[in-house]
Amino acid sequence: MSKDIIIKTEGLGKCYRDPEEKWVVKDVELSIAKGEFVSVVGRSGSGKSTLLKMMGGLLKPEAGRVLIGTDDIYKFSAKAMADYRCNRIGFVFQDYFLEEKYTVYQNVEVVLMIAKVDVKKRKDLVSKALMLVGMEDKKDSYVKNLSGGEKQRVCIARAIVNDPDIIYADEPCGNLDYENGANIMRILRELTEKGKTVVLITHNREDAANTDRIITLQDGKVIADEAKG
């Protein structure tokens, strides 16, 4: 595995005032290497999803910074941030966020439409992404007719279609049975073998055990950071 650091957080924190001040993430210092498969675990309310959103440019922190390579992402303009999210990262969520009335192909293609990729290239890229997750034969199926496992594979195809450097996955196996969950974990592992960096949020210790490194959060703070090998 390359030791080049692709994600770094420095003193990262998020505070809510409701009405009293509460730090849901505090003083998080992480360095994640290119091609690493990292899981973040902890109880509900420990700050896992908040941390992922800040790392992914979806939620501005109150303290600290997030570096992708040498770029401090929260110094980006609104347009630069949108370009960053569109081109350099992919998101996979537990609740899918797919358009049920559209086909599998259309749901994956939308990312490329936003990025203004031309039609011919879009077709090639969508087909490649669907092939990687084993959903090419379902490209014309409507999402509303898919199983939970199939929907999550479409989400992964949508996340990787723009060939991002980083994939952030928030409880992608949370709604799935064991077999479908294992299939999603296999796909995520294969992505790291292709050089992608995957950050997985999970409450499932068995899933976490299949990653390269386990980071444990408690009350918004990192209390353990264990790498294999």
CATH number at residue 218: 3.40.50.300
Answer yes or no: is pLDDT of 171 > 70.
yes
16 with 37, same domain: the answer is yes
225 with 205, same domain: the answer is yes
9 with 71, same domain: the answer is yes
Query: What is the mean predicted confidence (pLDDT) over 161-186?
Result: 91
pLDDT of residue 86: 86
103 within a domain of the structure (yes/no)? yes
Answer yes or no: is pLDDT of 2 > 50.
no
172 within a domain of the structure (yes/no)? no
Q: Which band of pLDDT confidence, cut at 50, 70 and 90, is reported for residue 159?
A: very high
Answer yes or no: is pLDDT of 146 > 90.
yes
pLDDT of residue 222: 98
- 139 Cβ contact partners less than 8 Å away, ≥ 6 residues apart: 103, 104, 105, 126, 127, 130
80 with 122, same domain: the answer is no
pLDDT of residue 175: 83
150 within a domain of the structure (yes/no)? yes
119 with 157, same domain: the answer is yes
72 with 136, same domain: the answer is no
Q: How many structural domains are present in the chain?
A: 2
Which tops the pLDDT comparison, 217 or 83?
A: 217
110 with 144, same domain: the answer is yes
125 with 66, same domain: the answer is no
41 with 58, same domain: the answer is yes
225 with 155, same domain: the answer is no
* End position of a domain, from candidates 163, 184, 208: 163
175 within a domain of the structure (yes/no)? no
93-123 pLDDT per residue, tens:
888 899 999 999 999 999 999 888 999 999 9
215 within a domain of the structure (yes/no)? yes
153 with 199, same domain: the answer is no
Using CA atoms, how far apart are residues 109 and 123, in angstroms rounded to an integer? 8
Query: What is the mean predicted confidence (pLDDT) over 134-145?
Result: 96
pLDDT of residue 229: 63
Q: Where in the sequence is the domain holding 78, given as residue range(s)?
A: 1-85+192-229
pTM of structure: 0.91
Using CA atoms, how far apart are residues 55 and 65, in angstroms rounded to an integer? 9
80 within a domain of the structure (yes/no)? yes
Query: What is the mean predicted confidence (pLDDT) over 145-151?
Result: 94
143 within a domain of the structure (yes/no)? yes
Q: How many CA atoms lie within 13 A of 37 on its CB side?
A: 19
104 with 146, same domain: the answer is yes
33-79 pLDDT per residue, tens:
999 999 999 999 999 999 999 999 999 999 999 999 999 999 999 99
pLDDT of residue 1: 42
* End position of a domain, from candidates 146, 163, 180: 163
